[in-house]
């Protein structure tokens, strides 16, 4: 089954966050998808972690390098669709990209983002 993973999930796994092990177990054996912006968001997470812990910069960079090479198929998302979904849901266009991939590929969306998860649930919020 295809599963869409967002940056919160991949970041938790790559950077050793507390939920990382549980997420790995949940995703084991699944075909993973994400919008192409995933790598930019992961780099942003790594940058924030590097600013907070400059002494760990080499480890953070190594974790980022491993994360961008995970077997996740990156899917381009049309900008017009992002705008439409963002307007309909109140999500950012970044979060709308994950929702679009999940809808187009009829896939589960796995996220640690409560707002995105609420919208992704059947009957989720629409503005």
Pairing of β 2-5 and β 31-35: parallel
pLDDT(124) > 80: no
29 backbone dihedrals φ, ψ, rounded to 5°: 85, 0
C-alpha 91/C-alpha 32 separation (Å) is: 22
Query: What letter does residue 106 receive in the DSSP assignment?
Result: T
The 10s digit of each residue's pLDDT in 3-12 is: 999 999 999 9
Strand partners, 3: 32, 108
The 10s digit of each residue's pLDDT in 61-113 is: 999 999 999 999 999 999 999 999 999 999 999 999 999 999 999 999 999 99
- Least Cα distance to 68 among 91, 34, 96 occurs for 34
The 10s digit of each residue's pLDDT in 11-46 is: 999 999 999 999 999 999 999 999 999 999 999 999
Catalogue all structural domains in the chain, each as residue range(s) with its CATH number: 2-120 (3.40.50.1010)
């Amino acid at each position: 089954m295809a599963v869409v993973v967002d940056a919160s999930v991949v970041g938790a796994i790559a950077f050793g966050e507390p939920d990382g092990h549980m997420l790995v177990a949940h995703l084991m054996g699944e075909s993973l998808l994400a919008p192409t912006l995933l790598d930019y968001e992961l780099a942003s997470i790594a940058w924030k972690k590097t600013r907070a812990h400059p002494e760990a910069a080499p480890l953070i960079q190594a974790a980022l390098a491993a994360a961008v090479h995970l077997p996740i198929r990156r899917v381009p998302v049309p900008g017009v669709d992002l705008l439409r979904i963002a307007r309909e849901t109140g999500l950012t266009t970044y979060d709308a990209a994950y929702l679009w991939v999940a809808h187009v590929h009829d896939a589960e969306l796995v996220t640690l983002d409560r707002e995105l998860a609420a919208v992704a649930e059947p009957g989720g919020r629409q503005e």
